[in-house]
Amino acid sequence: MSLQTDTHKPHILCVESNRTEKERLMELLLPYQDAFVIRAVNDGDELLRMLDRLILEGESIGMLLVAQQLSDGKGTHFLAKSYEKWPHSLFMLIAEQPGTVSLEDAEAAHIFRVFYRPLDNLSFGLGMREATSFYLYQQAVNQKAKILTELHRASMNLSGEIHLEKLLHKMMRILIDNADARHGYIIMEEENGNLYIEASGAQGSYDTRLERAEITDFSPVCPAIVDYVRKTRENVILNDALNEGAFATHPYVRKNLCRSLLCAPLIYQGKLYGILYLENNEKTDAFNSESLELFRLLTAPAAIAIQNAKLYSHMESIVDERTREVMAQKEEIERSHNLIRQKNDDIISSINYARRIQDAFLPSIHGIKKAFDNCFVYYKPKDIVSGDFYWFSRRLSKTIIAAADCTGHGIPGAFMTIMANTLLRQIVELEGIFKPDQILYHLNLRVRVALSQDTETSGGNHNYQKDGLDIALLQIDTKRRKLQFAGANRPLIIVKKDGTVEEHKGDKVSIGGYQAEEHVEYTTHNFELDEGDTIYLFSDGYPDQIGEKEDRRFKSKRFHTLLQEIYNKDMDHQRLLLDAELRHWRGDNEQTDDIVVIGIRF
């Protein structure tokens, strides 16, 4: 994976047959021309041809804005065709008046928003701002996911290597692969204060040169910048070194026509373990924000990895020198290995940054409360990051909400939640699948593909890989109080307004993991609720909590009784009561598992 990204602006494509309406539309889109390339065509066929050309040229299409009445057919028809070519855009329709676009046509065309004529500045501007915000949010989420994935891959890659030369090679590949740099160098300081280039690499070549060279005025790096970073422990990032910063007049910069330059210290616990140096003398602004963020997060793990490798190298020299002192040698090896393991634990702890990125995937509580007047979400991870998550999406008249429990907790569970979040967004928001059993069916298929889970291995032995998730998922029509439920090993609880508790179990098969059948089907259950009825979705974390006094689980029966006791309270009060009861039951015991509980009153 690489974090080098396309810097071209995304496109807004407009289709309008009427010349006057097209001019009006282009006038309304003028405020967006700094962020998007705006193009207009006359008919749907021309739109499809332009889409093909832009996709071949590697361009990004952000939005399609199409009139319903075109000279060669309905706009919804061409939006549906466009979705087949490029499903990553936001699709919007301009209709003559309300009621002229059926719900079936809108869903088939995956329409994000419908505008009605005559177009006015206020409603069109609000709609476009909403669409722009949603599009930019999607792009940001995708970039955060890339950073998180690359951070985990790079951290694991570095933490597992204790040989310095191999470590420097891996580090150099990470630098070159994730930055648009033509040359890269790793520099270290000796005890005598001299600086040495320990490793160098170039774009387009997998080889890493590991010949040590002391830094002088003839070195392939700027000595003044390296010395500045060593003394100040500050990053130097120059987007146009010839024309900005304190080093623009330095002989090295002038002679080599330096453009983009990055020099960063590798520091851990206040100690300098190395310096990263990257150059691209062919263009300015070569280092994008995603690459810079990844390098910022990796500096501490890289410094720890170098420290560990040096410790290991030092340990080997001790072993070579003291082969006759067997007992003393054994103690030194054990002490050094314990130190290495401890430092590797420090690398894993650096992934605490992942919490911020995982939180960005969760829907906002404010957005959920806008959809449901009376609701709460009780979310309590066992560790810093969680294997449980809640998911929410609202499109047209349908609202989808789910509570899910992924395999494990902590870092492994968190990566499963990110994958499941991404797949749910693809299935519901991009592909327009809204029926609960179909959502779970497609989610199961894609989780199994993503995790390479086969039904059976050769020779008839089952593949017992258990990674997957349990989930309860609802489609809700709040106005009609109609509910559709499908579950994978998770139930739905309904507490009627008279206090009667109903438990509706989901299918007894998880999403992903070992499955005896090649194609697993899930079941949609339909309900009509009365005003005052309350529904609950939850993971198994709350019922499975071990109590301090009784040393046994809370269990589902006690959980049902608790919901029956609090269901008529204010929803925010219910959340506080759930937390208070959990703390009382748990006592001084550790939390057993991640917990998520969602309550909605109609």
Q: Which tens digit of pLDDT belongs to each residue from 501-558?
A: 999 999 999 998 878 777 889 999 999 999 999 999 999 999 999 998 888 999 999 9
Three-state DSSP class for 318? helix
Measured CA to CA, the distance from residue 418 to residue 421 in angstroms comes to 5
Could you give phi then psi for residue 65, rounded to 5 degrees? Answer: -120, 110
In terms of Cβ atoms closer than 10 Å to its own Cβ (0-12, 13-18, 19+), residue 360 is middle
CB 238, CB 247: distance < 8 Å: yes
SS3 323: coil
User: What are the backbone dihedrals phi and psi of residue 470, each rounded to the nearest 5 degrees, phi first?
Assistant: -105, 145
Could you give the residue ranges of the DSSP H alpha helices within 274-393? 289-321, 326-349, 354-361, 365-371
On average, the pLDDT of the chain sits at: 86
Ranked by mean pLDDT, the top range of 114-118, 122-126, 248-252, 535-539 is 535-539
pLDDT-derived band at 350 (thresholds 50, 70, 90) equals low
Fold held by 11-143 = Rossmann fold (3.40.50)
Closest CA to 290 of 172, 184, 180, 144: 144
* Six token digits for residue 496: 């009627």
User: In this structure, are residues 437 and 403 in contact, taking their beta carbons and an 8 Å threshold?
Assistant: no
Closest CA to 183 of 191, 175, 171: 175
| CA atoms of 429 and 112, how far apart (whole Å) | 9
Separation in Å, CA 474 to CA 63, 291, 363, 525, 538: 29, 39, 15, 9, 12
Contact status, residue 405 vs residue 379, Cβ threshold 8 Å = no
Residue 15, pLDDT above cutoff 80:
yes
In the chain, CATH 3.40.50.2300 covers 11-143
* Each residue's pLDDT tens digit, 437-465: 999 999 999 998 888 886 554 344 444 46
In eight-state DSSP terms, residue 543 is: T
Q: What is the CA radius of gyration of the chain?
A: 29
Q: Which residues pair with 495 in a beta bridge?
A: 501, 534
Class of domain 160-350: alpha beta
pTM reported for the whole predicted model: 0.46
Nearest to 294 by CA among 137, 411, 157, 132: 157
Asked if residue 114 lies in contact with residue 397, where contact means CB atoms within 8 angstroms, the answer is no
Mean pLDDT of all residues in 401-413: 84
For residue 265, the number of C-alpha atoms closer than 13 Å in the C-beta half-sphere is 20
Per the model's pLDDT, the better-predicted residue between 424 and 170 turns out to be 424
DSSP-derived letter for residue 553 is: B
Asked if pLDDT for residue 154 goes beyond 90, the answer is no
Residues of the chain with CATH 3.60.40.10: 362-601
CATH 3.30.450.40 domain position(s) in the chain? 160-350
The residue-averaged pLDDT of 406-412 equals 77
Q: What is the mean pLDDT of residues 319-333?
A: 72
Token pair 């208070």 is at which residue?
Answer: 580
Q: What is the pLDDT of residue 8?
A: 72
Crossing angle, helix 326-349 and helix 121-159, to 10 degrees? Answer: 180
Identify the residue with better confidence: 225 or 320.
225
CATH code assigned to 362-601: 3.60.40.10
Lowest mean pLDDT among 145-159, 164-178, 264-278: 145-159
pLDDT, residue 600, reads 96
Give dist(CA 65, CA 79) in Å, integer. Answer: 9
